[in-house]
């Protein structure tokens, strides 16, 4: 998932995708979709650093949930990438980590 600013519309994404498909074809483009998520009550954190270091951030999230009497709803989580891992130094990667709670 890649978070988009509120001013980005589905039609803007579709126009951009059509241009990219012509310039650099790839069958995986068909799997891309523009959508809005409604996760409900959740715990999230902005993780800065390498993906391999995410367990420390998940530990902080678990501590926060426990301290606030929140129970994780399911074992899966979301990762929302705020920059391109191919263009940014690992120590500067920004990822929103989120899991649902009750």
44 exposure class (CB count in 10 Å sphere: 0-12, 13-18, 19+) = middle
Based on the domain organization, do 21 and 51 belong to the same domain?
Answer: no
Running along the chain, 102 residues long, what does each successive block of 10 average in pLDDT? Answer: 88 95 94 88 97 98 98 94 94 97 96
Task: Tell me the pTM.
Answer: 0.75
Looking at the fold, whether 28 and 70 belong to one and the same domain comes out as no
29 and 7 co-located in one domain? yes
Task: Give the pLDDT of residue 62.
Answer: 97
Q: Domain count of the chain?
A: 2
Q: Give the angle subtended at the CA of 77 by the CAs of 32 and 82, to the nearest 5°.
A: 55
Q: Are residues 50 and 72 in the same domain?
A: yes
Dump pLDDT digits (tens) for 32-41: 999 988 888 9
Domain that holds residue 49: 39-102
């Amino acid at each position: 998932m890649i978070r988009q600013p509120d001013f980005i519309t589905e039609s803007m994404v579709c126009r951009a995708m059509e241009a990219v498909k012509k310039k650099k074809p790839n069958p995986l483009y068909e799997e891309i979709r523009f959508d809005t998520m409604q996760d409900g009550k959740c715990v999230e954190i902005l993780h800065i650093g390498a993906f391999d270091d995410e367990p420390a951030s998940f530990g902080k999230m678990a501590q926060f949930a426990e301290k606030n009497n929140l129970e994780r709803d399911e074992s899966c989580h979301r990762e929302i990438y705020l920059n391109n891992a191919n263009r940014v130094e690992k120590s500067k990667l920004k990822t929103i980590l989120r899991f649902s709670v009750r």
